[in-house]
Structure 1
Amino acid sequence: MLKSYHRVFEVPHLASLLTWSLLARLHVAGLPIAVTFLVAGWTGSYALAGVVSGALTIGSALAGPIRGRMADRGGTDRLMLVSGVVYAVGLSLLVVLPASWWWASVPLALVTGVFLPPANQIGRALWPRITTGQVRKSVYAAEATLQETLFIIGPLLAAGAVGFAGARAAVALLAAIALIGSIGFALALRRAGVTEADEQDGPAEKGPRRSLLTSPPLVLVLLMCLLMIGGLGSVDLVIVAWAREMGAPGNAGGLAAIWAAGSLVGGLVAGTLSGQARIPLRAFGAAAGITLLIPLLPPITHLSSPWMVSPVLFVAGLAIAPTLAAVMERLGDIAPPQRRAEAFGWMSTAITAGMSVASPVTGWLIDLGGIAAGVGGAAVLTFAAAALSLFLRPLPEKASEAV
């Protein structure tokens, strides 16, 4: 395992690019928490807080493909710098907004979301350009695995800042992190000399061109992402609801960490496997893992302690990062080389759509049938994603001996 990842860090500039790409996204998972506390403090309404957080998300989703298209045309360092500055300014304006002007936070959040720094699109489009073979597999696996840790660190950081210094300070802190990460990634791109389009990929398309959504293989991957992330996001929501029902909301962080730890271990192992990943096997494994949780949750079973489900929760997470890594790698393979960042922009939009649709449905299922019903809905979504993966054709130039 160590040898596989050692080769990743032997690639010039790759360690710096991966590190700054992740740091530039650190704020994303924690921002909804900080914004929710901020707006709820102004208005006393979590519904209005959800509207503002939703506006941030919608702005980001709408602009994802556009930011990706801009990245494909070159100047990725400038794109990161401009996006990072405007995004940080937008969040800073939200911080200083008077509580009586809460209504202005909705359009402000929408515009700010449009300028979310596209670190994930730029990075994921870059890996096929600077890596090949097993190293490429390992870097995608490492990214998917480390992304799981961001989903833990970000919310903990935001919640801690809210508790220590208040919601305004928390949003300000995340704005600073976004700006520093964007500047760092821009400088890393410049040092690596990968800010412009690669001539080997062919000239960037100009003027009217066919939408990437006319490509059936690419649309299939995007639909799979939408359903898979919708299911995984539903489990996160269920964990929070379960902890709240038990009167111990603090347990949510620990349970989510166990689930993420399983994903982390699975991702690290997957990054060492050679050959073409069997995406259906990984996807069905992720769906089956979630299904294992259903009979252990109320109202089917009432455990004396939520920590009794920890071993199963860990196992349920094992296939998550491997599946996401394989899907990201496949999207990078099938997207036109000169439009990879745009393709990953569409992936970001699909992920956002999946989470946006799954959250209210999961909440309805929990209200209707309890915690187990919420996980059941998540299992249905992930099994649907796995079923779609059966239509993915293997790439002919790669071996298929790996899992």
Structure 2
Amino acid sequence: MPVFTPYRLLASVGRLPTLLFWSLFGRLHTTATALALTFLVTDWTGSYTLAGVVAASLTVGTGIAGPLRGRAADRSSVTRLLLLTGLCYGGGLFLLAALPGGLWPAAPVIAFFTGLAMPPVSQVSRAVWAKVEPAAARNATYAVEATLTELLFMVGPMLAALAVAFVSPPAAVVLCGLFAVTGALGFAAALARSELRPVQAQAGDEAPGASDGLSESASEPPSALSEAPRNGFVLRAAGVLPTITMAMMIVAALIAVDLVIIAWARERGTPELAGVLVAVWAVGSLVGGFIAGGLRGRPNLVLRMTLVTLGLSALIPVLPPMTPEPTPWLVGLILAAGGAAIAPAFAAANSRLGELAPAHQRAEVFGWLASASTAGSALAATSIGWVLDVGSLGAAAGASTLFGVLAVLVALQIPRRPAAQASTEAQDVVT
């Protein structure tokens, strides 16, 4: 079937499936750590607020260090960086697990420094995908990654919860540390054997390609838009800042819906329903990502962001006050349909950012993307929490849609492709 052609191309690229597996495994711990830490700290203190402080400290450390870790990956040995950060991050989680409950005030500090050492698996892998040729295999790689990331958000928390239930909260935190160390080491080993290693900036280099208009790597296509800015500040590269801003807005929109689902489930007195609905949403994203990965031609970023926003807006009329007593079946159906646009949208965004980022600074760019995603989560948590307190579920869904609209408006400002490729634009099939 034609839909499987890009996936066959992906499988044919040397060591790409192995790299993809380890890049995903290397991020498994990120979906489980917050849950494990919440159980750990609440066992110590009995307070969910303090548990949130510890989890937030880890997140803040991760967000601050994202661009720095990406820049280090661009300028030094990636494998050595992965080994060092993996061991330090895992060691920080092990230290938290071993911390006596009476010393819990030290936990936020330890969590913050642990976050600073987060292994840059995410940004390095996305920088690597930008080197995949042909373009159909590259687009399929981004789509598969975005799709399987949804599985991480189901599997990670489940494994942490099982460790808490059958062993203890400290065991769950240790498990997350083991995932982090194993994932970083496995990804480093796979990367060392791959020909898709990121391009390293050389000391004294000017902007990549600045001297002759060509990338220094034979595998990098020439691109006026992907040249590094003259002052070296990567966010000044054409299209990079709008793409990162768009990602922040769409992450805020999706986190907002998570909060709406949780609030509605709690109001109904059925908190377990939140997990079911989030799983339904993720399944919709899985299906959409699989289909999008098999489409031929160039992804239409604006269209995909618009479809996500339409899916978010469909929740407004089925929630209070417009629908005083919504049925879980109707809400679940809307989430499944709207979720089908999420993984394709993220795949298109990551692919576009990989094209626009300067070849020698891609890991740094994706580090900024990770920090922007963290900022989007924080923006949604504060703003939507206030809307839920003073307004309604429908108003919160409306705020989520507003974030989506902002993402679409920013997407309209993003270049469709590097200028050197514009001459072939008319030959692409828009998907």
| TM-score, length-scaled by structure 1 | 0.95
1:339 corresponds to 2:361: yes
Paired amino acid for 2:49? A
CA RMSD of aligned residues (A): 2.0
Q: 1:160 maps to what in 2?
A: 162
Q: 1:357 maps to what in 2?
A: 379
Q: 1:202 maps to what in 2?
A: 216
Paired amino acid for 2:262? V
Q: 1:7 maps to what in 2?
A: 9
1:2-401 correspondence to structure 2 within 5 Å: 2-195=4-197, 197=199, 201-202=215-216, 209-303=231-325, 305-395=327-417, 396=422, 397-398=424-425, 399-401=427-429
Paired amino acid for 2:241? V
Tell me the distance in 2 between the aligned counterparts of 1:43 and 1:224.
38
SS at match of 1:394: coil
Residue 400 of structure 1, CA deviation? 4.3
1:402 corresponds to 2:416: no
Tell me the distance in 2 between the aligned counterparts of 1:41 and 1:244.
22
Higher mean C-alpha deviation, range 39-48 or range 158-167: 158-167
SS at match of 2:130: helix
Residue 209 of structure 1, CA deviation? 4.7
Q: 2:209 maps to what in 1?
A: none
Residue 160 of structure 1, CA deviation? 2.5
| TM-score, length-scaled by structure 2 | 0.89
SS at match of 1:238: helix
Are the equivalent residues in 1 in contact too, given 2:27–2:183 (CA < 8 A)? Answer: yes
Residue 2 of structure 1, CA deviation? 2.3
1:31-76 CA-partner distances (Å, limit 9, x unpaired):
1111112112212221111111111011111111111111112421
1:144-183 CA-partner distances (Å, limit 9, x unpaired):
1111111222222222322222211111111111111111
Tell me the distance in 2 between the aligned counterparts of 1:303 and 1:158.
33
Residue 280 of structure 1, CA deviation? 1.0
Tell me the distance in 1 between the aligned counterparts of 2:15 and 2:428.
30
Judged with a 3 Å threshold, the aligned counterparts in structure 2 of structure 1 residues 35 and 125 are, in CA distance, closer, same or farther, namely: same
1:105-161 CA-partner distances (Å, limit 9, x unpaired):
111101000111111111000012233311111101111111111122222222232
Residue 311 of structure 1, CA deviation? 1.6
1:286-344 CA-partner distances (Å, limit 9, x unpaired):
00001101111233324464133222111111111111111111110011101111100
Are the equivalent residues in 2 in contact too, given 1:161–1:169 (CA < 8 A)? Answer: yes
Are the equivalent residues in 2 in contact too, given 1:64–1:349 (CA < 8 A)? Answer: yes
Tell me the distance in 2 between the aligned counterparts of 1:387 and 1:209.
28
SS at match of 1:27: helix
- The structure 1 segments of at least 4 consecutive aligned residues displaced by more than 6 Å after TM superposition are none
Are the equivalent residues in 2 in contact too, given 1:73–1:197 (CA < 8 A)? Answer: no
Are the equivalent residues in 2 in contact too, given 1:75–1:196 (CA < 8 A)? Answer: no
Residue 201 of structure 1, CA deviation? 4.6
SS at match of 1:192: coil
Unaligned 5+ runs, structure 2: 202-213, 218-226
Aligned length: 401
Paired amino acid for 2:338? A
Tell me the distance in 1 between the aligned counterparts of 2:236 and 2:414.
16
Unaligned 5+ runs, structure 1: none
